[in-house]
Amino acid sequence: MVGGDSLRFNDKRGPEILRNYWPLVKVIRFFLFCAARKSDLAMGTATITLVEYTRRVEEAVKIDPGLWTYVTFREALSLLDPDLPEQGILSCRSLRLFDDGRISPYYAPFDQLNEDARIVLVGITPGRRQMWEACLAARRAIGEGASDDEVLRVAKNTGSFAGPMRAKLIRMLDDIGVAGHFGVQTCASLFSDHAKLVFSTSLVSFPVFVRGKNYTGNSPPPLKHAVLRKVIETVFVARVTHSSRALVVPLGKTVSTVVEALAADGKIDLRRCLMGFPHPSGGNGHRVRIFKENRDALRRRIEEWFASA
């Protein structure tokens, strides 16, 4: 009730009243946006200003992601507590790459490349579970005196898509016929005996967290954050290019959208990509429906790819 006007669903004066109060609505929306922005920049109970956030991003952009390698973090990995619980991995400041007040990327030993891979599986970013699995696997291998190459191999095979999502991913790959074209009984062997056939990677190759939670690719969008974009356009593109003969499988809508943008810029050949494959995360409530809708098209694309390979 404003000035005696009451707006009902069937009130013919509705559009006129909305026009009269639209400037007020825009002001309210602006303040709501500012409140949400402040929430986005919150770190626990503390907040930082937009100026400070901008400064941190500008500093982070100057960093070369090519320096975030196993050699740099070998000692930090070797000093990890072998009994470190999963929830404690983010307390390892020695693995944190930077913190701009909004996102916090960490190092995890997913450096190993695979020039001979026949399929590339692309996620958004390693989650906390995958980071923990890979880091502790590396810690054990280092303690056993393994070579750097062996440490990275073990870490990659252990941590890549670790957890319940791996089983979901394997079932979908098997369902569209990938295992048959590789001459294996199931794609589960891609993470063990036949690991040479696959290269598992992510748009952002380093685990990213937003206020301690796994980054989902939504806030901020990966190509809208300067550092994430830099990692994608340098590290990710270089890694996919290295496996030049492999079919690239973007997992989910976020990854597919970024891959299409990279293709439009001439950085990736879209003809190499199997589009329409859902992300295997349990948090993807549309996974089953999307897979059923796209399954036949995915099977045909697999047949076409391996027939021409």
Q: Is residue 162 part of a domain?
A: yes
CA distance 2 to 22: 14
Q: Is residue 267 part of a domain?
A: yes
Q: Is residue 49 part of a domain?
A: no
Q: Is residue 6 part of a domain?
A: no
Q: Is residue 26 part of a domain?
A: no
Along the 309 residues of the chain, how does pLDDT read in single tens digits?
334 433 333 444 445 544 555 555 555 555 554 554 444 444 433 466 777 777 777 777 777 888 899 999 999 999 999 999 999 999 999 999 989 888 999 999 999 999 999 999 999 999 999 999 999 999 999 999 999 999 999 999 999 988 888 999 999 999 999 999 999 999 999 998 999 999 999 999 999 999 899 999 988 999 999 999 999 999 999 999 999 999 999 999 999 999 999 999 999 999 999 999 999 887 777 888 999 999 999 999 999 999 987
DSSP class of residue 184 equals -
The secondary element (H helix, E strand) that includes residue 242 is helix 237-242
By three-state DSSP, how is residue 113 classified?
A: coil
Contacts of 298 (CB under 8 A, 6+ apart): 176, 274, 276, 277
| CATH classification at residue 248 | 3.40.470
Q: Is residue 60 part of a domain?
A: no
Q: Is residue 147 part of a domain?
A: yes
CA distance 176 to 180: 9
Indicate the number of domains in the chain: 1
Strands of 247-250's sheet in order across: 198-202, 119-123, 247-250
Q: Is residue 37 part of a domain?
A: no
Maximum Cα–Cα distance across the chain: 81
CA distance 191 to 83: 24
Residue 119 sits in which domain range? 65-308
Q: Do the beta carbons of residue 215 and residue 208 sit within 8 Å?
A: yes
CA distance 48 to 90: 20
CA distance 153 to 109: 9
